[in-house]
Amino acid sequence: MEPCPSVCILLLLCLGRSANGGKVLVWYTEGSHWINMKPVLETLVDRGHQVTVLVPSISMFMTSDQSLFHYEAFNVSLSLEVFEAFLDKFIHFTIYEMDYMNYFQIYSKFMDLLKINIQFSLKFLDGVVKSETMLKKLKGDNYDMLLADPIFPGSDLTADMLGIPLFLSLRFSVAHNWERLCAQLPAPPSFVPAVLSKLTDKMTFSERVFNFLFYPLQDIVMEKCIWKELDEYYSHVRGKRTHTSACEMMGNADIWLMRTYWDFDFPRPFLPNFKFVGGVHCRPAKPLPKDIEEFVQSSGDAGIVVFSLGSLVKNLTTEKANMIASGLAQVPQKVRKVSSFYKYEHCLKLNWELWATFNKKLISGKLPSIK
Ligand SMILES: *[C@@H]1O[C@H](CO)[C@@H](O)[C@H](O)[C@H]1NC(C)=O
Ligand SMILES: *[C@@H]1O[C@H](CO)[C@@H](O)[C@H](O)[C@H]1NC(C)=O
C-alpha cells in the first residue's frame, strides 16, 4: 500500500497551475494537526508553490523559524499559560474523569469545556478577521486558496472575506457533525456507525437504536456549544443585518481532504469533493537506530506495537500507565508469539522507554526521527 505519492500528486493536481506556482495561505492550527500539515506544505514548496502560514502570537507547536514558508503573524489576546492550562484540563477530563462519570455528568462537563474552547478559538480568530492590518495585508497578497484544518474555526469566514477557494483537511468531526450537516455527506444511521460511538458496522438492533440516537445528541451538543456561538460571531463580523450560518459557510468549502483511507474506516457513502489523503504526511522509511532495529528483529512474526499518546499528553499516572500496559499485554499476537515471561516484560519495558523518549523530544520541540 503506497497512498503517499499518489495522494500528494492528487493534491497537487487539485491545486493546479503547478507550472506557475500558486500562492497558498495556510490556516493556523496546533499539536498533531500542525505536525500532519507540515509535510504537505513542504511538498507544495518543493513543487514550486508559495506557502504562507498564519501563526498566532501564542502557539505550542507553530514556530516561524523555518525559512521554507512565509509567515504571517497575528495577535491573540490570550496567554499561552491560560491556553495550556485549559488543554491540560481537557486532557485530564478525557483520561482520568470520564470513565468514572455517568452520561449526564460527561455531557455536562464536555459541554462546559467546549464552551470555553470556542471562546478561546474566537480570541484567536479576532486576531485575523477583526484586525484591519491583517485583513488588508491578506487581501493585498492575492492568495489563490486557503488550506485549513478546521479544528480552529474561521477559515471559511476568512476565505469568504478574501474571496478565495477553501480546502479543508481533517480526520473527522464528532459524529461527522461537520461532514453531515455542513457538507451534506450522507450517513444512514442504520449502517454508518457514528464516530466516537465506539460502534462498528456490525450492529445489533439495540446498537442501531443507540447509533440512531447518538447522532442527534451530538448535533444538539455541537449546536449549543459551537454553532450558536459561531453563527453570532460570523453574523457580527459580516454585518448585523444578515444572519450567517457558520455551518452553511463551512459547507462552501471546495474540497474536503480526509486524512483517512477508504479501507481504514467503516464503509460509508462519500461525495465527489471528499478526497482520501490518509498517509499524506508519510515519509520514506529511514533505517532504525541499532538497538531499536535489534528489538524489532527479535519480535519475530508478531511484530511490535508502537504506542503513542499523541502530541499533547506529556505524562501519565502510574495507575493509568499500568492499565495501558496491561491492555497491551492482551494483544493476541504478542501473547501467542512471545512465550517467555521475561521477554514479554522486556518488550513492554522497551515500548515505555520509546514512549518516554518520544515525549521528551516533543517537549523540547523536536520530533524524533522514529515514530
Ligand atoms: C499586533 O499588535 C501590535 C501592538 O499592539 C500592533 O502594532 C500590530 O499591528 C498588531 N498586528 C496585527 C497583525 O494586527
Ligand atoms: C503532569 O504534569 C503536570 C505539569 O506539567 C502536572 O500538573 C500534573 O499533575 C502531572 N500529572 C501526572 C499524572 O503526573
For residue 288, name the pLDDT band (cuts at 50, 70, 90): confident
- Report whether pLDDT(364) > 90: no
What pLDDT is attached to residue 326? Answer: 66
Domain end (from 254, 276, 298): 276
347: in domain: yes
Cβ neighbors of 301 (< 8 A, separation 6 or more) are 337
Closest C-alpha to ligand 1, atom 9: 133
Q: Is 144 in the same domain as 177? A: yes
88: in domain: no
> What phi-psi label fits residue 147: left (phi over 0), alpha (psi between -120 and 50 degrees) or beta?
beta
CATH of the domain at 241: 3.40.50
Nearest to 161 by CA among 181, 183, 146, 176: 146
Ligand index nearest the alpha carbon of residue 57: 1
The atom number, within ligand 2, closest to the CA of 320 reads: 13
- Domain with 355, as residue range(s), is 290-364
237: in domain: yes
> What's the gap in Å between 149 CA and the centre of ligand 2?
29
pLDDT tens-digit series, residues 86-142? 999 999 999 999 989 998 999 999 999 999 999 999 999 999 999 999 999 999 999
Domain end (from 276, 306, 322): 276
Task: Give Cα separations from 238 to 145, 147, 226, 280 (angstroms).
Answer: 20, 21, 18, 35
> What's the gap in Å between 90 CA and the centre of ligand 2?
13
**Cell numbers found for residue 348:** 513492554
Number of domains observed in the structure of the chain: 2
263: in domain: yes
CA 207, CA 205: separation in Å to the nearest integer?
5
Q: Is 217 in the same domain as 324? A: no
pLDDT tens-digit series, residues 303-332? 766 666 777 887 777 777 767 766 666 664
330: in domain: yes
Q: Is 8 in the same domain as 155? A: yes
Looking at the DSSP bridge assignments, the partners of residue 255 are 167
Chain CA centroid to CA 229, Å: 21
Q: Which residues line ligand 1 (CB under 6 A)?
A: 74-75, 131, 133-134
What pLDDT is attached to residue 360? Answer: 43
For residue 4, name the pLDDT band (cuts at 50, 70, 90): low
Domain end (from 276, 298, 323): 276
